[in-house]
Chain A
Amino acid sequence: MKNTLANWVWSVRNFFQGIKEKLHLNINLPTWVKALIYLSPALILLGVFTFYPIINAFRLVVYQGYQLVRDVDGVLRESITGYTLFGNFAQVLSADNFILPSSHTNSSILLNTLAIVFISVPISILLSLFVAATLNSIKPLKGFFQTIYFLPYITNTLAIGLVFAYMFKSGSTGIVNQFFMLFGVEPVSWIERGATYWRAMTVLIAFGVWDGMAFKIMVFMSGMQGIDQQYYQAAAIDATPKRRIFTKITVPMISPMIFYIVVTSVIGAFKTYSSVVAIFGDTATPDGANYNLKTIVFHIYDYIYSGEDLSLAAAASIILFAIILALTLVQMWVGKKRVHY
């Protein structure tokens, strides 16, 4: 059976070889043609699903009221009401609750995002730094702890988000309230009816810290393992206290990693979306609350899902892109100039 199959493959191969020889196709193709053949699958897909969307986003943003409307004969056609250069950006930025809270909703998209950026990112970075430094100083059980700390990274955001929502359930049912009841604190509502803004935000930040620590610890660990032991030996001879070793050797030596982590986590915080959906649902609002926890990306998806004015979605995503571009440029610039040892 196997033999006949091999024979068959061989004869097919010979057949093609014969054609090739008959047609004198054995000449070497120029390298660029070969390269094109090798690159074409990836380039075609990237062209359709990466490069074209970028160009198209900048095309959509100059239209006003871009919409797809079904014709009489059933064909979808683009329908616009006019052209504008910055009108869509202005409309996104001046939308209700984008920058400042309004009278009916007591929160704003930008402030939500900034709260996540300025609270969750520093907490998780500092905590990861301490964990990495401590983990680096021990020998037994190191691998075990490393494995545990890495677990959040490979989990599904939705799955763990639902678990977090369940853990923060109101009343004494939730495990978090149970924990606080040990210290005599009355159970409160975190994400359900009656939750205050900062309580809801705390849940979101707790999830962000829990979810984000794995990657940071790993990067810091690999950075610390790359530090030359000479520095520590020199410090040991001088009997330098541990705290000074940490602030004067470890942190400066891994400053490129810290900076990289700062930038990527700020970008990640701007992109918070799935966790909000997992914990608070599509409204991003606890029952009956007069605020929401929408982030910039959440806002973009709101525009896309509504489908009414896709130009605004394009404008909002370009604003996000600009923010991320600026952060990346700062990272590159500072990385060249400031971070050194």
Chain B
Amino acid sequence: MNKEQVKQIKRFENIIHLVDAIFLVIYVGLFIFLFSKITVPDLPPEVFTNFEYTIFGMDIDTFTLNTWMSYLAIFIIVTFPLTFINFKKTKFREFYEYSRYVSSNYFVNAIVSLLAFNPVSFVLKIIASRRILLQSEGYGFKEASKRIWAGFKNLFKKKVKVVEEEDSDLKKAIRRQTAFTFMRMFFSYLFLSIVALLIFVPFYWMILTALKTYYESNLTMTPRFFISLSEMQWMNFKYVLQEVDFSIYIKNTLYVGILSTVGTIITTVLAAFAFARLEFKGRETIFSVLLMTMMIPGELYILTNFLTVSQAGLGWVGGAEGTNSYFLAMIIPFMTSVFYIFFLRQTFKQIPETLYKAAKVDGSSDFKYLTRVMIPIAGPTIFTITILSVIGSWNAFIWPRLITSVGDVNEGRMYWLISVALRDADFTTAGTNPRVMFNMQIAASAIVTIPLIVVFLLLRKYIMSGVGRSGTKG
């Protein structure tokens, strides 16, 4: 393939990704639209009610709506990673990498698109597949299918055995060894699969339970391991967001997470720069004192920090209704981190000193050097810190719970973060004999967990590189 053809193919591929992305947006939009149409029963749903809906002029019941939403969810789950992966592949694929494998990849992709109800992408991908095949191998689908068929037949053809009498002992030994290796591989994969299954079961059970009815999650004696698409109660998520106020808690968490992350980045970048580049007396001493604080357990701080932010100190929490600023108390103490300063300093130190000297000769100030040279070079590390910090805020539990539990409790609960809400929010049924609705509680857990998993799968590289150096959770 020559350069011009590759250019054309890449343009064509990008059009495909655009179409995929548009369809993804349509799926998500439709999903949200249907989600907004769901009726939440007035009373906690002890008894399942079948509602009538009119959507796009059609009269449907709850089961049909559930089925539609389930299909849309599946389409989203399939399309999103495919689009993402394909886009990345196109971006980094060199001209010599175009071959029949890329073509077959698009062919399979096309079939998946068709199954995901996306005929436009299907047609485009088939065309892309054919073009790549023609231009890289020089033959079309007809020839390709002939070759595949031939290869398929070859696979089952009886191989002519060449019997050699001599060295039969060696042959036997080799065969035994091969069998042994095979067995070991088999048991390796078996072991790994069992462990992976054990890791995965809680996630599966969480998602399944989140979609079950109250009756099925609480009362039935024989829980099912699969449920049909029409039985998936998407209403549970709406109930949790609306009636248990999780939309407020998610908003709080994002607010706290973003602000404390921005603060953390600013303070740590400045401090790490000073520790990495500026020569001043006592630099190593201050730095080692900071490092020493890393092994002090957080429980030692919490007591005094609690006093500091409460009425005895800054007065951010614990006062009368309306005088509290819970967000300040949640954000300010977490606007810096010794570990991130350490982490960034290591990265900054790896940047050659000569660059700094050169910048000095050119008469640029330290701050300009920091923003124009060091931050761009250390970009991946800063990005890692950002993700880890946001994840940390998303999972914060002890401190937010402590400070929202003092003073006016009713005001405090408007400032709960999601972890606190998971533990303390009211998931019980109404009435004289309240019982926890496990499907709702687990649905809330799923709402908290799924965004984290999506973020992790998208940014795995950054997260794992950051975690590899940290060692502590959260």
Contacts and interface: CB of A to CB of B under 8 A. Distances in A.
Contact of B335 (A45, A147, A150, A152): A45
A210 B199 contact: yes
A160 interface: yes
B356 interface: no
A210 B422 contact: no
Interface stretch (A80-88, A96-104, A105-113, A127-135): A127-135
Contact of A324 (B196, B206, B295): B295
A215 interface: yes
Contacts of A134: 188, 191-192
Find the residue from A38, A277, A305 having the highest chain B CB count within 10 A: A38
A244 B338 CA distance: 42
A54 interface: yes
Given A127-B195, A145-B192, A274-B397, A156 B452 contact: yes
B278 A35 contact: yes
Nearest to B271: A42
B467 A210 contact: no
Interface string B413-447: 00000110011000000000000001001101110
A321 B292 CA distance: 12
B60 to A, nearest CB: 31
B300 A53 contact: yes
B334 to A, nearest CB: 8
Contacts of B209: 163, 166
A318 B300 CA distance: 7
Contact of A162 (B366, B418, B442, B468): B442
B238 to A, nearest CB: 19
A73 B275 CA distance: 47
B386 interface: no
Interface stretch (B88-96, B115-123, B139-147, B304-312): B304-312
A297 B448 CA distance: 25
A31 B280 contact: yes
Given A35-B278, A76-B312, A301-B398, A271 B192 contact: no
Interface in A112-148: 127, 130-131, 134-135, 137-138, 141, 145, 147-148
B270 A39 contact: yes
Interface residues of A, number: 90
Given A32-B281, A156-B448, A274-B397, A317 B198 contact: no
Nearest to A137: B188
Given A32-B280, A151-B199, A39 B274 contact: yes
Contact of A242 (B184, B220, B296, B341): B184
Contacts of B307: 56, 68, 310
Contact of B290 (A46, A175, A328): A46
Interface stretch (B14-22, B151-159, B456-464): B456-464
A219 B286 CA distance: 29
B202 A54 contact: no
A48 B222 CA distance: 55
Across the A-B interface, the 6 shortest Cβ-Cβ residue pairs? A53-B304, A42-B271, A159-B445, A38-B274, A53-B301, A56-B304
Given A127-B195, A162-B422, 17 more contacts: A32-B281, A38-B271, A41-B336, A42-B341, A49-B305, A51-B293, A52-B308, A53-B301, A53-B304, A60-B303, A149-B196, A155-B449, A175-B205, A218-B467, A273-B398, A274-B398, A325-B295
Interface of A: 31-32, 34-35, 38-39, 41-43, 45-46, 48-54, 56-57, 60, 68, 76, 78, 127, 130-131, 134-135, 137-138, 141, 145, 147-160, 162-164, 166-167, 169, 171-173, 175, 178, 210, 213, 215, 218-219, 222, 242, 260, 264, 267-268, 271, 273-274, 277-278, 281, 297, 300-301, 304-305, 310, 313-314, 317-318, 320-321, 324-325, 328
5 contacts: A41-B267, A57-B304, A158-B397, A175-B223, A328-B295
